Chain A
Amino acid sequence: MPQPRSLHGLDWLNFFVANVQTGFGPFIAVYLTENRWTTAEIGYALTIGTICSLVSQVPAGALVDGMRDKRWAVWFGTLSISGTALMYALSPTQMSVYVAEVLHGLASSVIGPAIAAVSLALVGRAAFSERIGRNARFASLGSGLAAGVMGAAGSFVSAGSVFWLTAALGVPALMALRMIGHATGQPEAEAEQKDATAGMAGLKELFLDWRLLTFAACVVLFFISNAAMLPLAATQITKRHPELADIIIAATIVIPQVVVALLSPWVGRSSDRLGRRPIMLLGWMMLPLQGLLYASALTPFLLVLCQLLSGVSAAVFGVTMTLVAADLTRESGRFNLTLGALGVAIAIGASISTTFAGIIADAFGDSTAFLGLALAGLAGALLLWLVMPETGVAAAPPPPSMGVPSTVVAG
């Protein structure tokens, strides 16, 4: 059993790293505009970050897989994001911002998967689903709170203050990391360590694994459907409800975070009890539902309702993606590499989404764009249902002789 101190450290690590990660992203454009950057220059800087993160996902994953102590990867990632924030705050000049974006891109592709790997090493396979659910809860509380605080700081203090705040939040994140003990004592983790260095043959095998390819396609379709949904809807709300739009939109950004915080532990437990497939189907089906609702009418009430549904799909996605990646790499140990590859799938889906929705909206109007997004989500759900196999081992039904479950008696 891992030390309780380590487990609490992991809770807070998820919370503070989410703080740092949510951080300054939305404020970069505003801050650089305030510093008299032109739109084109801001575009270049952000593109550098995006490309860097995309290109580094898979190699960073391979690198972390080869590390004996994954805590170093988290340490590097956290320090880099804080450092990036500090560079922005101190010197919003081109050279400094470009370097910061490169660093930010690298760090953001390392940190999430590395935390999952630290968790796996700490708790082992048997308790992993539960742990990932709990990780998601703390991360979501962290990013929800950060979004609120940073939003307030950005509007009432200055865009620059957000960068200082992000840099400072790296300190408690690193303190939480220090609470986590070294975890390669897990025999399972040791075994994975050995296999991970097996060589290129395993790499080819991994990327030709049809389960991974199918799941990656489901992930791409999820993000094609998901990424443009809220931005498209929110822009319409801004147009139609000038008085309340800003407050409504701020509230609807926080709603999914709350749902994720509430639901993730359940998603983790249920993915073991019922299997990954039914839970994933539930999450993926929320996307076509949202698309249809938005296409039917676009009111503030519907925006709130759809964001509740979006929270359900986000909770399911966040937890099950990590679990499926762990399931598929049970033998090969290439867990971070797989998460990196899925990260690329996310980026591809999200970038198609915005372009795809924009083109349909320009040609046929917003309702049709929502229907198009719904269709992509439906395609993802169908692919899951018809092609994707169950990857969890604990999906087998319990023996009938078990009698009354002990949890019922406990109440």
Chain B
Amino acid sequence: MAVQTIPPGQVHGVVGGHVQDSNGSDAGRLWDVLVDDDGRPRAAVIDYGGALGIGRRKVAVAWQVLHVAPEDPTHPIHLSLTRQQLGAIPEFKYGSGPTTLGNGR
């Protein structure tokens, strides 16, 4: 079997990572990645808000608004959305219903 080697620092685990909004404030964590039938990432589920687990909500955002920032150790994932914009996205739920994505437009 042929193996492929990727040099260090070129790929990053993202699930569970802290997310920062476009104002530079904390916007929770990346909870899950939603992929289409071909396995390409389409959206990310962000879990944010609240305190001690109360008041958290999950929203799905388009993959394009996500930027990986490995140089930022505390918040390796940046969003080009604000928390206000996250508030406008309906709650994400796993299941057969339609998924509304926040895309910043």
* Residues of A in contact with B (beta carbons under 8 Å apart): 25-26, 29-30, 33-34, 36, 38-39, 147, 150-151, 230-231, 234-235, 237-243, 245-247, 249-250, 253
Q: For the complex, is B48 an interface residue (Cβ under 8 Å from A)?
A: yes
**Which stretch, B35-43, B61-69, B83-91, touches the partner chain A?**
B83-91
- Per-position 1/0 for B12-41, Cβ under 8 A of A: 010110000000000001011000000000
With known contacts A33-B29, A36-B13, A36-B16, A238–B49 Cβ distance under 8 A: yes
Q: List 15 A-B contacts (CB under 8 A).
A: A26-B52, A29-B53, A151-B51, A234-B55, A235-B55, A235-B56, A235-B57, A238-B56, A242-B49, A245-B55, A246-B49, A246-B51, A249-B51, A250-B52, A253-B54
Closest 9 CB pairs of A and B: A234-B55, A238-B49, A242-B83, A250-B51, A26-B53, A33-B16, A249-B55, A26-B52, A249-B51
| Complex CA–CA separation, A26 to B52 (angstroms) | 5
Q: Is B49's CB under 8 angstroms from A245's CB?
A: yes
Which residue of chain B lies nearest to A33 when distances are taken between CB atoms in the complex?
B16
B80 at the interface (CB under 8 A from A): no
Given A36-B16, A239-B87, A242-B82: A151 and B56 within 8 A (CB)?
Answer: no
A325 to B52, CA, bound (A): 31
Q: How far is the CA of A147 from the CA of B52 in the complex (A)?
A: 8
Q: Is the CB of B54 within 8 A of A34?
A: no
Determine whether B7 belongs to the interface, using a CB cutoff of 8 Å to chain A. no
B87 and A234: CB pair below 8 A? no
What residues of B have a CB within 8 angstroms of the CB of A26 in the complex? 52-54
A247 to B52, CA, bound (A): 11
Cβ-closest chain A residue relative to B30: A33
Residues of B close to A246: CB separation below 8 A: 49-51, 55
CB distance from B58 to the nearest CB of A (A): 10
Q: Shortest CB–CB separation between residue A71 and chain B, in angstroms?
A: 31
Interface extent on B, as a size class? Answer: 20 to 34
B interface, CB within 8 angstroms of A: 13, 15-16, 29, 31-32, 48-57, 82-84, 86-87, 91
Contacts of B86 in A (CB 8 A): 242
From known contacts A26-B52, A151-B52, A246-B49, infer whether A239 and B57 are also in contact, taking CB-CB under 8 Å.
yes
Separation of A245 and B56 alpha carbons in the complex (Å): 10
Q: Closest CB-CB distance, B16 to chain A, in whole Å?
A: 4
Residues from chain A with a CB closer than 8 A to the CB of B55 are 231, 234-235, 237-238, 245-246, 249
A238 to B86, CA, bound (A): 10
Residues in B with CB closer than 8 Å to A33 are 15-16, 29
Q: Which A residues are in CB contact (< 8 Å) with B53? A: 25-26, 29
Q: Which residue of A lies closest to B85 (CB)?
A: A242
Q: Give the docked Cα–Cα distance between A235 and B87 (Å).
A: 10
List residues of chain A with CB within 8 A of the CB of B87: 238-242
Min distance, Cβ A300 to any Cβ of chain B, angstroms = 11
Contact A238 B57 (CB under 8 A): yes
Q: Please give me the residue from chain B that is nearest to A241 by CB atom.
A: B87
| A280, B74: Cα distance in complex, Å | 48
Chain B residues with CB under 8 Å of A247's CB are 51
A231–B31 alpha-carbon span in the complex (Å): 19
Q: Knowing A237-B55, A239-B57, A239-B87 touch, does A245 contact B50 (C-beta < 8 A)?
A: yes
- Min CB distance B30 to A, Å, is 10
Residues from chain A with Cβ under 8 Å of B49 in the complex: 235, 238, 242, 245-246, 249
Assess whether B84 is in contact with A253, with CB atoms less than 8 Å apart: no
Alpha-carbon distance between A39 and B32 when the two chains are bound, in angstroms: 9
Apart from A39-B32, A240-B87: 10 A-B pairs, beta carbons within 8 A: A29-B53, A36-B13, A231-B55, A234-B55, A235-B56, A237-B55, A238-B48, A238-B50, A239-B91, A243-B83
Instruction: With a 10 A CB-CB cut-off, give which of B48, B52, B83 has the most chain A CB atoms.
Output: B52
- A151 contacts across to B, CB distance below 8 A: 51-52
Complex: how many Å from CA A166 to CA B81?
37
Cβ contacts under 8 Å, A36 to chain B: 13, 15-16
CB-CB under 8 A for A242 and B84, given A26-B52, A250-B52, A253-B52: yes
B13 contact set on A, CB distance < 8 A: 36
Residues of A within 8 A of B57 (CB): 235, 238-239
A29–B54 Cα gap in the complex (Å)?
A: 12
